[in-house]
Structure 1
Amino acid sequence: MPDPTRVALLIDTATSWGAGLIEGITDYGQQDRNWVFFVEPRGKYDRMTLPDGWAGHGVIARITHQELADQLIEAQTPAVNVSWYPFGEQQIPRCTCDEVAAAKMAADYFFRKGFRQFAYCGSSLRPLYHDRFGDAFVAMVQQAGFACPRYSPGDQPARGWDRQRDALAGWLRSLPRPVAVLTFDDLQGRQVTEACAQAGILVPQDASVLGGEHDALSSRISRPPLSGIDHSPQEVGRQAAAMLDRLMRGQPLPDRALLVPPRRIVVRQSTDRVAVPDDLLASALRYIRAHFQEAIKIADILREVPLSRRSLEKGFREHLGRTPRDEIRRVRVEEAVRLLCDTPMPVTKIAAACGYDRPELLTRAFRRELGRTPSDFRKRSGAGATA
């Protein structure tokens, strides 16, 4: 049996992102490949470097500081960067989640909920980081014709969390309501929900809070539980491992970074709000969300909401940019995505759970909303395990 290929994983093990990356990498390395891994328990903000005396064949790392990039370049070790930081960009290829696509997913999510007031909160732990994710979100909101105040904590970690929270609470009080707040990640999102509680701001009634990078633990311990963007860590891990495999075989560096699209919004209570100003229209939206698993028709909505069909259609187009039928399909596909990602249910049962009496109707709706079939979505995203 040939000697194993030794790969160092300089990736944190304390977040859903890091754990998912490692899972995707090891899936690739253990499929007909004799890869063995060096990996140690690490926190997200630990300053990682190659271990002393390590002699292996390749490295996959979150390169978050220049020292590690220089170390890898000097060692002439094939390496792949899975961070948003571009250290060593010209000499170390990068494979990570597409931050602009993640920002667009967040903006589209809030637009679909009817929000017209927005804000963005950057990271309190990355004072020197150029936040392209936040830049992209603010630009997209402004391009749609809305303002987007931005909070940049800067060097506030040195001030202590109590003072940070006071400053953050003051900024949140200054925002119009209801407001859609995107944060850099779920860690920052949890800080926002805590500051909202201090400021007397109800989540999600006054502020709908979405974390920019889903983390299961941060989401669960937030009050209320926090919605976040799933950055497809398993798929990023698999793609990064495939890239490293090519490098270790002597193939040339890729011309540009490989950016993997985010998978979905993991919806929790922190964004469970419809932000349309018309109470009757909001009632229609709530009715759809409560009954999408049934064979509902427009007439069913009108029996519950005292509107004419013309007023209902006009209100949906004016406030949401879509028809009631479009909304029924969107909610059903959103639930199908959740079931594909979080359960091993077969597509036939998922279709029935989402209000379709035949699986091909779900496939047709899925193609229209996401441009792919449910089976292809599950295969490409590594879905089917509990989030």
Structure 2
Amino acid sequence: MNQIVATETKIPARAATPHRAATQQRVALLIDTATTWGAGLIEGIADYAKANRRNWLFSFEPRGKYDRLLLPDGWRGDGVIARITHPGLAEQLIKRKMPAVNVSWFRYGGNIIPRCSCDEAAAAQMAARYFFDNGYRQFAYCASTLRPSYHDRLGDAFAEEIARSGFPCERFDPDHDRFEKLDSEQQLGELSRWLEGLPRPIALLAFDTIQGRQVTEACSQSGLSVPDDIAVLGGEHDELCSRISSPQLSGVDQSPQEVGARAAEMLDQLMAGQTLKDSNVGLPPKRIITRLSTDKVAIQDDMLAAAILFIRRHFANELRIRDILHEIPLSRRALEIGFRRHLGRTPRDEIRRIRVQKAQELLCDTDWPITRIATACGFDRPELLTRAFRRELKATPSEFRRRVTQGLAKR
């Protein structure tokens, strides 16, 4: 299927409506409700409307991720936020001159329909850095076998990021026309044979958690251990797919609530007759949600790997270098040299990195005050947590929490 190439004028924004807070507007949400991504988008949209006192009446129905969504012929409303995954929906919205925002990685609608989604390159870079930080130097990517018309920018960006560090990246990306003719067992067998031929240990990024779960199933069929032989990370986290995978899958949290809030803000401006400053918005992912599928340190030196695991298990304590040396039979010099050689940082840097990583999780998943989070992550004082955050993330803990939990809903 060909994408719509936009050579015409953008859909005109509607004339501004006075007293928008009191005027009810109908907004169609053509978004799946079966995934963490889709549910998060809808939640972010609803949060924006509530925080900004928009009297929006939402039109949406329970939908699956791969349902072919279209506006009902008789639907009359004021705006649409949609995952535009096929050209028919883009053509329909353009024909109706309906204010709309696309929240999909597909580019259907060209520069006619504004788009807001997670930045694919940023997600790929986060995944690559996560693997590097865990000591991996062999990499692979498994593309989606369910999206024949999608240009896989996530996979391209991941391979480019790996190549910039001087490493190759194996890739599973079969011909879609041939692959879809195979039954599910034949498809699983082909994936298994590819996995068996990979060097080990290896870090594998799958397009999303659905594809990642297929990888873990294929690994089980082939007698490959996850994560000992192959560490598997999903490019788009989905909670259900993660939980039913064996082992549970790690994934990239693509900030669906923040994307939904920004898309709602963009649609709000279009329905008010305003011109968007940026009609192609890519927001950064929030974090890596770590589960058992990547719970491994890929370092051949057993003593050094044991030192890293010791840090991960005891980061919340008053941890000093001498505590590590008391448990691991290494000299301080050998420990320092090993960390720099394999990870490019010192043991003290690793302690700080792990503590900040845990603090990020608590800032996203709890409403704990900063003082409690600092204590839970091994910092004697909140000021030390703030200093570590600024060094690692160029932001304070409060700034990070506002950015990732509130998004743009309260703008």
Q: TM-score, normalised by structure 1?
A: 0.97
> 1:256 offset after TM fit, Å?
4.4
What secondary structure does 1:95 align onto? strand
What amino acid is the match of 1:172? L
Distance in 2 of aligned mates of 1:296 and 1:267:
22
Question: Structure 2: which 5+ runs fail to align?
Answer: 1-20
Per-residue Cα deviation, 1:209-240 (whole angstroms, up to 9, x for no partner): 00000000000000000000000000000000
**Aligned pairs for 1:40-119 within 5 A:** 40-119=61-140
**1:133 and 2:133 correspond:** no
Q: 2:226 aligns with which of 174, 199, 203?
A: 203
Whole-angstrom distance in 1 between the partners of 2:253 and 2:40: 10
Identity %: 63
Contact 1:340 1:383 in 2 (8 A): no
| Aligned partner letter, 1:94 | R
Corresponding residue to 1:310 among 322, 326, 333: 333
Matched position secondary structure for 2:368: coil
Question: CA offsets, 1:130-174, max 9 Å, x none?
Answer: 100000001111111111110013422331211110000000000
Work out whether 1:5 is the aligned partner of 2:25.
Answer: yes
- Aligned partners of 1:321, 1:256: CA distance in 2, in Å? 39
Q: Distance in 1 between matches of 2:345 and 2:161?
A: 19
Task: Provide the C-alpha distance between the structure 1 equivalents of 2:251 and 2:181, rounded to a whole number of angstroms.
Answer: 27
What is the letter of the counterpart of residue 381 of structure 1?
V
Runs of 4+ in 1 over 3 A off after TM superposition: 253-256
Given that residues 330 and 369 in structure 1 are in contact (C-alpha distance below 8 angstroms), is that contact kept between their aligned partners in structure 2? yes
Structure 1 residue 254, shift from structure 2 partner: 3.9
372-381 vs 230-239, which deviates more? Answer: 372-381
State the Cα distance separating 1:111 from its structure 2 match. 0.2
| 1:195-344 alignment runs, 5 A limit | 195-344=218-367
Equivalent pairs, count: 384
Give distance in 1, aligned partners of 2:174 and 2:250.
21
C-alpha displacement of 1:255: 4.3
SS of residue matched to 2:231:
strand
Q: Does 1:29 align with 2:49?
A: yes
3-state secondary structure, aligned to 2:181: helix
How many angstroms apart in 1 are the aligned matches of 2:387 and 2:180? 49
SS in 1 for 2:169: coil
Give the Cα–Cα distance (whole angstroms) in 1 for the partners of residues 189 and 406 of structure 2: 40
What is the letter of the counterpart of residue 209 of structure 1? V
The 3-state SS of whatever aligns with 1:21 is helix
What is the alpha-carbon distance in structure 2 between the residues aligned to residue 164 and residue 195 of structure 1? 10
User: 1:158 aligns to what SS in structure 2?
Assistant: coil
**Greater mean alpha carbon deviation, residues 339-348 or residues 63-72:** 339-348
5+ residue gaps, structure 1, are none
In the alignment, the residues of structure 2 paired with residue 157 and residue 380 of structure 1 have an alpha-carbon distance, to the nearest angstrom, of: 41
Q: Give 2:217's aligned residue.
A: 194
Cα distance between partner residues in 2 of 1:153 and 1:23: 35
Alignment-mate amino acid for residue 281 of structure 2: L
Aligned to 2:14: none
* TM-score calculated relative to the size of structure 2: 0.91
Return the letter of the residue paired with 2:389: F
| Cα drift, residue 314 of structure 1 | 1.0
Greater shift, 154-163 or 142-151, is seen at: 154-163
Aligned CA distance change for structure 1 residues 383 and 7 (closer, same or farther; 3 Å): closer
Structure 1 equivalent of residue 401 of structure 2: 378
Q: How far 1:3 sits from its partner (Å)?
A: 3.6
Equivalent pair of 1:284/1:301 in contact (CA under 8 Å): yes
**Match in the other structure for 1:183:** 206
> Secondary structure of the equivalent of 2:203?
strand
Q: What is the identity, as a one-letter code, of the residue corresponding to 1:359?
A: P
1:219 corresponds to which letter in structure 2? S
Q: Match of 1:68, SS?
A: helix
One-letter amino acid matched to 2:185: D
Quote the offset at 1:383 in angstroms.
6.8
Aligned partners of 1:150, 1:305: CA distance in 2, in Å? 38
Superposed displacement of residue 379, structure 1: 1.4
1:348-387 pair list within 5 angstroms: 348-382=371-405
Question: Does the alignment pair 1:347 with 2:370?
Answer: yes
CA distance, structure 1, for counterparts of residue 187 and residue 358 of structure 2: 37
Q: 37, 59, 73: which is aligned to 1:17?
A: 37
CA distance in 2, matches of 1:370, 1:2: 41
Paired residues of 2:26 and 2:57 also in contact (CA < 8 A)? yes
The question of whether the paired residues in 2 share the 8 Å contact of 1:280 and 1:307 is answered with: yes
Classify the secondary structure of the residue corresponding to 2:392. helix
Conservation of the 8 A alpha-carbon contact between 1:14 and 1:43: yes
What residue identity is the alignment partner of 1:132? R
